[in-house]
Structure 1
Amino acid sequence: MTRSFARIGAVLLIAGSAAIFTACASTPSADPSNAQTGDVPAPTSPAPTAGPGASPTPDPDCTTIIPASVVAEFQKVGWSFKSEALRVDGVEITGGIQCTWGDYTTATDHVQIFGWAPITPTAATTAQTDLIAAGWKREDAPAGVYLTENASTAIATDDQGYGLTYLFGDGFVKYADTKQGLLLVQWPPAG
């Protein structure tokens, strides 16, 4: 399958720039009965984190785990999302979300996938072990542990050859259709 990287690249470039400036497996199985489609509401600023007198941080959703500027760009090109629970090697991670953004008015493989979930150290170790056993490649980095699908079986990859990729950090797991896409997953919101 061929993907239109011009449009996707432009969105990533804009979002990547926004992220930089604001910062100065198997493939998870989809269960259509649990998927939700969303008309994209106007982007809003992330809710503040809980503190004295503040409201608790809301649950992550498809319009809050990525920057509002990216949501606005997706809206501009007519994209909406489908959401479902985040799964790692078929195991649902409680409290997580996976969002597939695309143009659902037509059959297409031009989509972007983003996910986030809280995860315990034990569950993270188990998930990593299962993914490695399924042929995923492990890479340790200061940000955490990256696990990416085997490049020889990936449908699409980023400029560095990464396809579907998880990032296991301190108490969380992020997921995107490329390693570069992980830069856009920004949850919980900065306080």
Structure 2
Amino acid sequence: MTEFRRPAALLLAGAAMLSLAACTPKGETPDPDTTTPANEGAAAPDAHPTCTTIIPETLVADFKEYGLSAIEEPFAFGDPATTKVEGGITCKWGNPEVPTDHGVQIYGWAPMDESGREKWTAFLTEQGWTHSEGDGLEYFGDPFAEGGMTYAFGDGFVIVADTEDALPLVSFPAS
């Protein structure tokens, strides 16, 4: 890919993500016919999240069409060696031919019981993450980038996305 086509491909990938993200403000109920709601509960015990099952199939197809692929990592609140959540997954979608962190889309899902929720919300609070609540979720946003990386805790799960507006795309199993 030429030096000039790389930025264009990354912009197209970003545009695809934004066009698919239904940006519903907290507290408002998204239209179920046009959006993928945040997970409404824990997945079946024998189900395993993957990079293609935590976001809508249409978004996966668009990413692949733009030459993007997913790097699968453990779900963590920082260093996976010390903050990994068992049974969870974080997916970084990007172009493997472009060594950059720009244009990368991040989505993650993990099961979360009440004791885990207490532990990790306390951890994020101690780290200075901003806290808010709405539409049945408890949000923790990046303290250095308003609207940036955000975790959302629900009943039996936690999700993460590289932007708060992208959180409605994450669910497991994807709806």
Query: TM-score scaled by structure 1?
Result: 0.70
Q: CA deviation at 1:5?
A: 5.6
Deviations 1:70-107 (A, max 9, x none): 00000111000100110124411110000000001111
Q: Which amino acid aligns with 2:164?
A: K
Residues 148 and 164 in structure 1, CA contact (< 8 A), matched pair in contact too: yes
Q: Which amino acid aligns with 1:11?
A: M
Long gaps (5+) in structure 2: 1-6, 24-30, 38-42
Seen in structure 2, the aligned counterparts of structure 1 residues 63 and 128 have a Cα distance that, compared at 3 Å, is same
Residues 19 and 184 in structure 1, CA contact (< 8 A), matched pair in contact too: no
| CA–CA separation in structure 1 for the residues paired with 2:128 and 2:55 | 28
* Residue 2 (structure 2) pairs with residue 13 (structure 1): no
Query: Cα RMSD over matched residues?
Result: 2.6
Long gaps (5+) in structure 1: 25-48, 51-55, 155-160
Q: Which piece of structure 1 moves more, 11-20 or 96-105?
A: 11-20
Seen in structure 2, the aligned counterparts of structure 1 residues 10 and 19 have a Cα distance that, compared at 3 Å, is farther
Q: CA deviation at 1:181?
A: 1.1
Deviations 1:42-90 (A, max 9, x none): xxxxxxx86xxxxx76311001100000000001110001001101244
SS at match of 2:70: strand
Deviations 1:95-128 (A, max 9, x none): 0000000001111221000000001111111101
* Residue 140 (structure 2) pairs with residue 127 (structure 1): no
Q: CA deviation at 1:7?
A: 3.8
Residues 15 and 67 in structure 1, CA contact (< 8 A), matched pair in contact too: no
Deviations 1:151-172 (A, max 9, x none): xx33xxxxxx311100000000
Q: Aligned ranges for residues 55-70 of structure 1 at < 5 Å?
A: 58-70=47-59
SS at match of 2:34: helix
- Moved >6 Å (runs of 4+): none
Q: Aligned ranges for residues 1-191 of structure 1 at < 5 Å?
A: 7-16=13-22, 20-21=33-34, 58-90=47-79, 91-108=83-100, 109-150=102-143, 153-154=144-145, 161-190=146-175
Seen in structure 2, the aligned counterparts of structure 1 residues 22 and 165 have a Cα distance that, compared at 3 Å, is closer
| CA–CA separation in structure 2 for the residues paired with 1:86 and 1:170 | 17
Residues 84 and 99 in structure 1, CA contact (< 8 A), matched pair in contact too: yes
| CA–CA separation in structure 2 for the residues paired with 1:62 and 1:79 | 12
Percent of matched pairs sharing the same residue: 36
Q: Aligned pairs, how many?
A: 151
Q: Which amino acid aligns with 1:183?
A: P
| CA–CA separation in structure 2 for the residues paired with 1:106 and 1:23 | 29
| CA–CA separation in structure 1 for the residues paired with 2:116 and 2:14 | 32
| CA–CA separation in structure 1 for the residues paired with 2:87 and 2:172 | 12
